């Protein structure tokens, strides 16, 4: 797939088509392609294998998708959007929310958004991770899009809470933003990819994640010693 063609507009267009296939064969092809591309990668996946898993002929596959690259684009672009650039986070207004919102509420809201997406997009998350590990061009373009559409607004949000005195002002906002993202991703990966069958208590986990971010993991000093 040509990384230079990855734009936010293209991501959203393919995502809309991914979510609403026109026929049952198209839906089966999309589902099979998502799974196989995630498991084997682009180069090792054959269109005949996708067609077989979908229960259709290869000729039928090419009736819906003129090339393997077109099918890959259909499943890969929504994966990027769902896992890395959801509309809820790229919308600046929703990311910043109201002026009265506390940092803790903001962090919980962002984490809740990501968990809800992850619960319903496990195969897409796996596909994206596999692609980012093997396709350098796509990885670089995804990073560029993420920086353009999310990173700056996230850092600005952290800076806002620093000015309010809710976060430490002696740390660079970029460092705090990276810590927030790392904590969130740690839970999301475990929740959606590593052990989706486990009995997760999302609310308790969100509370613990925010508490860890706000107070750290060090034990309180014992005043008696």
pLDDT at 95: 67
| Least confident window among 32-36, 53-57, 59-63, 147-151 | 147-151
Among 97, 89, 75, residue whose Cα is nearest residue 17:
75
- Single pTM value for the model: 0.73
State mean pLDDT over 140-155.
Answer: 85
Tens of pLDDT, residue by residue over 43-73, are 889 999 999 999 999 999 999 999 998 999 8
- Cβ contact 106:157 at 8 Å: yes
Q: Where are the domains of the chain?
A: 3-214
In the CATH hierarchy, which top-level class contains the domain 3-214? Answer: mainly alpha
- Cβ contact 115:202 at 8 Å: yes
DSSP letter assigned to residue 46: -
């Amino acid at each position: 797939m040509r990384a230079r063609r990855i734009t936010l507009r293209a991501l959203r267009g393919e995502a809309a088509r991914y979510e609403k296939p026109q026929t049952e064969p198209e839906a089966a092809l999309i589902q099979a392609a998502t799974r196989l591309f995630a498991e084997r990668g682009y180069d090792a996946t054959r269109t005949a294998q996708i067609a077989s898993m979908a229960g259709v002929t290869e000729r039928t596959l090419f009736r819906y998708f003129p090339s393997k690259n077109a099918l890959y684009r259909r499943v890969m672009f929504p994966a990027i959007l769902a896992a890395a650039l959801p509309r809820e986070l790229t919308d600046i207004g929703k990311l910043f929310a109201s002026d009265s919102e506390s940092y803790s509420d903001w962090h919980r809201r962002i984490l809740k958004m990501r968990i809800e997406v992850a619960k319903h997009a496990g195969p897409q998350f796996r596909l994206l991770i596999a692609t980012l590990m093997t396709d350098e061009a796509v990885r670089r373009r995804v990073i560029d899009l993420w920086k353009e559409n999310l990173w700056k607004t996230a850092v600005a949000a952290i800076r806002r809470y620093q000015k309010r005195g809710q976060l430490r002002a002696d740390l660079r906002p970029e460092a705090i933003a990276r810590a927030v993202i790392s904590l969130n991703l740690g839970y999301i990966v475990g929740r959606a990819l590593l052990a989706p069958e486990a009995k997760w208590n999302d609310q308790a986990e969100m509370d613990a994640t925010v508490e860890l971010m706000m107070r750290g993991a060090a034990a309180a000093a014992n005043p008696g010693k």
